[in-house]
Amino acid sequence: MSGGDGGRRVIDGRFALEARLGGGGMGTVWRARDLALDRPVALKEVRPPDPDLAEYDPEAARLLRARVLREARALARVEHPNVVTIHHIVDGGEDTYPWLVMELVTGGSLQDLLERGPMAPADAARLGRELLAALRAAHAVGIQHRDVKPANVLLRPDGRPVLTDFGIAAIRESTVLTATGSIIGTPDYMAPERITGERGGPDSDLWSLAMMLYVAVEGHHPLRRATTLATLAAVLNEQLPPPVQAGPLTGLLTAVLVKDPAARPGPEALDRMLAEAAEGRATAPHPAPSADPATSYRLTPPPVAPPPAGAADTVRAAPGGRHRRRGLVVGSAAVSALVLGVVLWQGLPGGSGGSGGKGDEDVVADRSRTPTAPATGGAAPGTGAAREPEGAAEGEPDAPEDLLTPGGVRHAVDVLRRETGSDRFGSFTVYPEYVSASVMLKGSDTKFDRYLYRLDNGVMKLPASGTLSNEVPMDLDAFDWDALPRLLARAEKDLNVAEPTTRYLVVDPVDKVFDTPQSLSVYFSDAYGSGYLKADPKGEVTEVHPAES
């Protein structure tokens, strides 16, 4: 397998390793030279996350190796300009892992590009359309990527994107990993159905693509939290903050980033929407696939095995911090059940491990910040575009400059009630510049429409509707908004976020399954992490979860 060539390691007597390009849980990538053809190539040895797998579970290692080879050979048949080309597979036999010999793409990665700042929406749409074509070519031969993220998008010198690193497609499906309940991938870009252990499908890759485009144009990840577990919980449970800098991509992102895979636009519709956005035209929302547009998807909590002694305390006590980890591996059935069945479904931002950072397997653009750019649009509600609010009632005070104040919250509640004709809410989240809310449909205790209210652009009805599963609709008059300044002051004092770049308030309803009452939660975040405190409807603090120093 190896030889000498001026002191360099040579693989298969032909490929001389020159420099390490990167690596992570799936193996190491090298710049190499093909001595037979005298051309530069990239070499990757695909390995499982556990280097001792072959010793303690040789059958699992054999199955993993066979799976990697099978999918590498299938991928080698994909001839597409936006899929990295596999030139050769070095297979040394049963006791080795294969080396993949691939084209060397020299223009850096999308992660490198985004570290210099957000992309223009039209440019992001053109890039997204090429990557969608790459995914469709892979899906056509039965391969799902499962780890679409900026680090796995390489750029040719002319700027054209190339999708690489399909290794998780093989490794995630291997017997040993599914048997232990592990999750492998970058949590920030994983579709909700993959987090819960469902198999997912090609549309899960489309979610990841859309989330990557969101990050590309907004300059931050909307659901990244201080810890891996909190990020997973946010992806599963929290409403996506509507993009404010996406321009013509806004409708597409809103349509794709919904939790129900069946409600997402298919690849043909997505391609059309990307083409429209690339030309600067607003993308039309995807029509609901069912006859009932108000239905929504709520992921069913997986069965919860009794956690090992002390495990619950470990999850609650272990703070997320500024230490960054590469990707995510939750490695045992007990821990997976605990994480997914208890922490995620309660949406507790606790647990251990980072949720991003800079590294070979990490995601980019973790500089979370409060959106400031105005939303675009001016069409009537129901189209996914914004409309200006109707004139204030006679004698009504002017709109406040900051919604994250007692007067600001009351103003937003009044405007949403007037504009929607409903006074019951399923969710309510307040940022300084905007409020996102689920507003119940008249006569229903479960069905709602989603709305965004911005001080600078009025009320916008979002194209995704939904259905409450466990929650009880809220009357927001039950909350003491005058307690908000006191809660914000307590957050500044106790959350250990010295210079927060994001501040927001989440109003949570009663949850009948988990027997949790109505509550207020104040979140502070910066580029390194976040903390939060929880209070009852009268503003009495019940929990404090500071960011780690």
For 97-111, the pLDDT digits (tens) are: 788 899 999 888 999
- Please state, in angstroms and rounded to a whole number, the distance separating the CA atoms of residues 135 and 31: 25
Would you place residue 288 in the very low, low, confident or very high pLDDT band (cuts 50, 70, 90)? very low
Same domain, yes or no: 424 and 283 = no
- Please state, in angstroms and rounded to a whole number, the distance separating the CA atoms of residues 107 and 362: 19
Residue 463: inside a domain = yes
Residue 318: inside a domain = no
Same domain, yes or no: 265 and 205 = yes
| Residues paired with residue 510 on neighbouring β-strands, in sequence order | 472
Same domain, yes or no: 141 and 281 = yes
Q: What is the mean pLDDT of residues 241-260?
A: 91
- Please state, in angstroms and rounded to a whole number, the distance separating the CA atoms of residues 42 and 104: 5
What does pTM read for this prediction?
Answer: 0.56
DSSP assignment string, 371-439: --SPP-----TTTTSEEPPPPPPTTPPPPPS-SSSHHHHHHHHHHHHHHHS---EEEEEE-SSEEEEEE
Residue 364: inside a domain = no
- Please state, in angstroms and rounded to a whole number, the distance separating the CA atoms of residues 288 and 294: 9
Beta strands 386-387; 458-467: pairing state: antiparallel
Residues 274, 280, 281: CA angle, nearest 5 degrees: 75
Same domain, yes or no: 93 and 128 = no
pLDDT number for residue 166: 74
Same domain, yes or no: 399 and 471 = yes
Residue 304: inside a domain = no
Among the residue ranges 31-40, 85-94, 252-261, 381-390, the one predicted with the least confidence is 381-390
Q: Which of 61, 86, 102 is the last residue before a domain boundary?
A: 102
Q: Which of 240, 141, 225, 250 has its CA nearest to residue 192?
A: 240
Q: What is the mean pLDDT of residues 123-146?
A: 92
- Please state, in angstroms and rounded to a whole number, the distance separating the CA atoms of residues 100 and 280: 39
Greater pLDDT, 217 or 318:
217
Q: What is the mean pLDDT of residues 167-193?
A: 57
Among the residue ranges 70-74, 213-217, 403-407, the one predicted with the least confidence is 70-74
Residue 84: inside a domain = yes
Would you place residue 37 in the very low, low, confident or very high pLDDT band (cuts 50, 70, 90)? very high
| Residues paired with residue 153 on neighbouring β-strands, in sequence order | 163
pLDDT number for residue 384: 39
Question: The domain that contains 153 carries what CATH number?
Answer: 1.10.510.10
Dig out the tokens for 107 from the structure: 């223009």
Structural domain span for residue 411: 386-545
Same domain, yes or no: 536 and 466 = yes
Greater pLDDT, 213 or 259:
213
Of 191-200, 306-315, 333-342, where does the model show the most confidence? 191-200
Beta strands 153-155; 161-163: pairing state: antiparallel
- Please state, in angstroms and rounded to a whole number, the distance separating the CA atoms of residues 269 and 194: 23
Residue 372: inside a domain = no
Same domain, yes or no: 257 and 137 = yes
475-527 pLDDT per residue, tens: 999 999 999 999 999 999 999 888 887 788 989 898 776 678 999 999 887 65
Percent of the chain with pLDDT over 90: 34
47 pLDDT exceeds 80?
Answer: no
pLDDT number for residue 50: 62
Q: Which of 48, 77, 102 is the last residue before a domain boundary?
A: 102
- Please state, in angstroms and rounded to a whole number, the distance separating the CA atoms of residues 12 and 101: 11
Q: What is the mean pLDDT of residues 168-179?
A: 42
Same domain, yes or no: 97 and 131 = no
3-class DSSP state of 51: coil
Q: Which of 53, 80, 102 is the last residue before a domain boundary?
A: 102
Residue 203: inside a domain = yes
Whole-number mean pLDDT of the chain? 74
Which residues are known to be catalytic? 147
Would you place residue 22 in the very low, low, confident or very high pLDDT band (cuts 50, 70, 90)? confident
Same domain, yes or no: 218 and 154 = yes
Long-range interactions of 283-291: CB distance < 8 A, separation 24+: 283/248, 283/249, 283/250, 283/251, 283/252, 283/255, 284/251, 284/384, 285/251, 285/254, 285/255, 285/383, 285/384, 285/463, 286/255, 286/256, 286/463, 288/263, 288/465, 289/262, 289/263, 290/262
Same domain, yes or no: 41 and 143 = no
pLDDT number for residue 55: 63
Same domain, yes or no: 79 and 117 = no
Greater pLDDT, 367 or 152:
152
Residue 317: inside a domain = no
Q: Specify the number of domains making up the chain.
A: 3
pLDDT number for residue 38: 95
Cα-only R_g, the chain: 24
Greater pLDDT, 386 or 87:
87
Greater pLDDT, 40 or 529:
40
Same domain, yes or no: 81 and 140 = no
3-class DSSP state of 318: coil
Q: Which of 380, 191, 370 has its CA nearest to residue 297?
A: 191
